[in-house]
Amino acid sequence: MIPVTKQRHLIDHIITAALKASDPYISIHSKIKYGNSLLSFQEHNYRLNKNSRVVAVAIGKAAIPMMQAIEVCLGKRLNSGLAVTKRLESEFASHKNVILMTGNHPIPGADSLAAGGIILSFLNGLTSNDLVIFLISGGGSALVCQPAPDITLKDLQETSDLLMRNEIPIQEINILRKHLDTIKGGGLLRVALPARTLSLVLSDVIGGDVADVASGPSVPDATTFSDCVEIFQKHGIASEIPTAVMKHMLDGSCGNEVETIKPGEINEENHSAYIVGNLDMAIGEAVKQAKCMEYDVYTSPIYIKMGVEEEARRIYQEFTDKVQSNRQKKVMMLWGGEAVIKRKGNRKGGRNLHLALLLAKYLRDQRGIYGATFATDGEDGSTDAAGAYFDFSTSMRGSQHGMDIQTAIDEQNSYKYFSQLDDTIKLGPTGTNVNDIVIMAKEST
């Protein structure tokens, strides 16, 4: 059996491969081209004359590296830019005309409102000669906001909190956001017209498209106010929604509010959109790395999206089935997505740390099996860890430190548990955000 240090070294290579594949700077810098007054991204070309202005707007957790890539690729041809992100961790050696701002996350706040107003002003007055490059990543829905005129920031905050507490699926939350906020659902696209636009999107929405990330501020929206009313009714929360929000949705469903910009209202040749990184790309690169290490590698066909306890059982069973059918071989399996966890008490931890704890309990005394869970953005809950390493000895080693694994699970005290064992994975802010990844492996017998 290989030592724990080597197991972690192997896992770290897998993590590095996944993060590199979803690195927004690399994804953009390697594909965008500019020369001879022509800007190209894959098959789309934008001709720029001497009067054309090129401006960039970046919104989300990956806003800084995405803006950096554009600044490096375009140099002085970038006339101006504005980036709104969660925090400014490092120096950004930027073009003097790029403005950096922070918004609030996960609930929109005063900073988000201020950023939204500035972005709308920033995009005013553009012409059909101009080009706007939108750089969109996860977290953007909260980081930038501009409530509809009849809705207050407090209404927006209360609605966001209610949706999260009731575990409404993110796709449905995004539909609601698009009809509560003038920035979302193509709101920025509408303001930027008649300028041409190029949207480059780093997706944190499982199986989603460009319209799902950050509630699709720069692309058309096919959903309606009537869809929003149906979502409230479906989940039985209509009576809990702030009065102004419910009135806005009902008025919209009757045609008394302006709908979001729809597909078909724009010339798609002048408004292209691409996903530059997502969970599938990250896992795909991780699989390549694992195969180089001579593992038989498998990926689950099912995304992680249910409650954390249910997902732990499923992951363990899927892995056990693969091990049983490959008894003599080195086996590795990967899963991606985001489990749902209902927080209780004031213990530190997040969905990845808690999932690792549950899997460690299942693996008790099953020698030769090890794994890890991690958030690709480097942040699990309110901790400084991305996730944790675990193996067959995690429970035993916890006991040696005076900790009981079941008690830690019951109290959701995962951060303390793994910290005591020096088993937390600390990546720092990674500059990307494409959901979570789980890795499990077994050495050959």
The answer as to whether 272 is a domain residue is yes
The answer as to whether 91 is a domain residue is yes
Long-range contacts: 364-369, Cβ < 8 Å, 24+? 364/392, 364/394, 364/395, 364/396, 364/405, 365/392, 365/396, 366/392, 367/1, 367/392, 368/1, 368/392, 368/442, 368/443, 368/445, 369/319, 369/323, 369/440, 369/441, 369/442
Enclosing domain of residue 269: 23-146+181-223+260-277
Within this chain, do residues 284 and 378 fall inside the same structural domain, yes or no?
A: yes
pLDDT per residue as tens digits for the range 83-105: 999 987 655 555 568 999 999 99
Within this chain, do residues 339 and 272 fall inside the same structural domain, yes or no?
A: no
Within this chain, do residues 208 and 325 fall inside the same structural domain, yes or no?
A: no
Within this chain, do residues 89 and 211 fall inside the same structural domain, yes or no?
A: yes
The answer as to whether 269 is a domain residue is yes
Within this chain, do residues 108 and 71 fall inside the same structural domain, yes or no?
A: yes
Within this chain, do residues 273 and 316 fall inside the same structural domain, yes or no?
A: no
Q: pLDDT 10s per residue in the chain (445 long)?
A: 556 788 899 999 999 999 999 999 999 999 999 999 999 999 899 999 999 999 999 999 999 999 999 999 999 999 999 999 998 765 555 556 899 999 999 889 999 999 999 999 999 999 999 999 999 999 999 999 999 999 999 999 999 889 988 878 888 999 999 999 999 999 999 999 999 999 999 999 888 789 999 999 999 999 999 999 999 999 999 999 999 999 999 999 999 999 999 999 999 889 999 999 999 999 999 999 999 999 999 999 999 999 999 999 999 999 999 999 887 789 999 999 999 888 777 788 899 999 999 999 999 978 889 999 999 999 998 899 999 999 999 999 999 999 999 999 999 999 999 999 999 999 998 989 999 999 999 987 6
